[in-house]
Amino acid sequence: MSLANRSLVSLDDLSNEEIEAVFSLASDMSADITNQRHVCQGMIMASLFFEPSTRTRLSFEAAMHRLGGTVITAMDVGATSLAKGESVADMARVVGSYADIIVIRHPWEGAAKVVAEYAGVPVINAGDGGHEHPTQTLLDLYTIKMERNTIKGLRIALWGDLKYGRTVHSLACALARFGATILFRPAPGLELPDHISRKLSTEYKGQIKKLDITEQSGEERLFAVDAVYAPPSSPHQLAMMPDIGLEVELEGGVDALYVTRAQKERHASGTDRDGGKKKYPVVDRRLLKGKEFKQTLVMHPLPRVDELAREVDADPRSLYFKQAARGVPVRMALMSLLLGTIPEPAAQPSESFSRKVEYPHYSRDIGVRCRNPKCVALNEPGYIGAEFQIINGKPLTLRCVYCEHETFPRYIASTEWHNGTVEAKRYHSADSHMARKIRPENLIAFDSEGEAQSLGFKPSRYNRWSVSE
């Protein structure tokens, strides 16, 4: 399947082979970066930044200039018609008629997907709220790949804000797809959220194991890993057993240490970070003296604040500025492939460690809707419907196809009520035995009994039972 004329909204839009193809081309291009001006000559990239992100924008724009194309830019568009009153879909259609490719950052989660649906030209998501920023993850992976020649079998530590960091969530999934072992070292209170842990253990083939950091000795507390993800092929799979500690896992050393800043919380300066539990952990010269970091690539998506000491900058293991620089060739490769202006590199064989999970689709005009206040579906209800994947039956779990937030509807019904298959227009508790009897294509879900009743549904007797229980 060709990449030409496709969009990149989420990294899941690309297979491992396609990602390797991007990397292969990026590597070729970066070897002669000022000599690629023929590739996209005459092409126009629209750079639409509905949220400030100068670094990402400049990287994309530099990439398009290196390819010989031109750029039209809209930034800080809060006050213009592109933002106010006009729908994202209309904006996409209009800008799609001006430009050959659109790069969009938008505060609403799922907005890039809507743009991709309407623009008529390839669209790249440059960040949609807290949801996805796939080219950041691409350049992170690319950096590791360039330095280690593979991702499979590496040991990558994720450091800092693992709770709110969109970058970290995407990277964790991407590393799992490529068969890496992941060590989670959160700042206190900023641990990896359950839905990411669950995703790692259901949609990828490995296992995640929590560790008790209170057991760890003083020195180790600097690198207080509280969970490990191990891919199926890992020789350390046995290390997941409770009686084998982190030490075994770390024997081979950490291949990369991916540091992130606090996204949402203020934290005290890291100077005496060992004193208080609540301090944000800092990567500095002292930490990197640990023998597990002897060969470690120190990475950071930037901008950094205090979590990565400046004294590390001159260390040969520090890779974060090189990592940022690599955003340009990665974006060059990606854009020329989506625009179809360059032959696709020969297929790059790549073993995938993700399960291809085909969840049943849920799409209704009535009933439950995504409740994420930042979801594009909630902000543009006029034409974006309720679209979910049914990712679990018990508890009933719907994942919004736009923002991927999960919702847990409490009541259900079936569209087959008019056929007499079930009692006419009854709703049931989502965890009653009726749930199993409704086929996914017939499912109607409700957030509340009131919602069901306002749509003319009556409580089922089973439901009343479960309520009285």
Residue numbers of the site for a second copy (CB under 8 A)?
34-35, 37, 41-42, 44, 46, 52-55, 57-59, 61-62, 65-66, 70-74, 76-77, 79-82, 85-87, 90-91, 93-95, 97-99, 302-305, 310, 321-322, 324-325, 328, 382-383
HEC string of 353-374? CECCCCCCEEEECCCCCCCCCC
Lookup result for tokens 């509340």: 448
Residues 145 and 19 sit within 8 Å (Cβ to Cβ)? no
Residues 6+ apart with CB under 8 A from 79: none
Distance CA 261, CA 307 (A): 6
Which three-class secondary structure state does DSSP give residue 288? helix
Closest CB to a second copy among 60 and 223? 60
What does the block give as tokens for 284?
A: 């500095």
Q: Minimum distance from CB of 85 to a second copy (Å)?
A: 5
Helix 327-339, helix 54-66: angle, nearest 10: 60
DSSP class of 278: T
Tell me how far CA of residue 359 lies from CA of 120, 205, 387, 390, 403, in angstroms. 27, 17, 12, 6, 16
φ/ψ of 436, rounded to 5, equals -70, -25
DSSP class of 422: S
φ/ψ of 318, rounded to 5, equals -70, 125
Residues 21 and 347 sit within 8 Å (Cβ to Cβ)? yes
Residues 228 and 234 sit within 8 Å (Cβ to Cβ)? no
Closest CB to a second copy among 47 and 460? 47
Which three-class secondary structure state does DSSP give residue 69? coil
What does the block give as tokens for 196?
A: 């990411």
Q: Minimum distance from CB of 371 to a second copy (Å)?
A: 24
Q: Minimum distance from CB of 446 to a second copy (Å)?
A: 24
Rg over CA atoms, the chain? 24
What does the block give as tokens for 355?
A: 């399960």
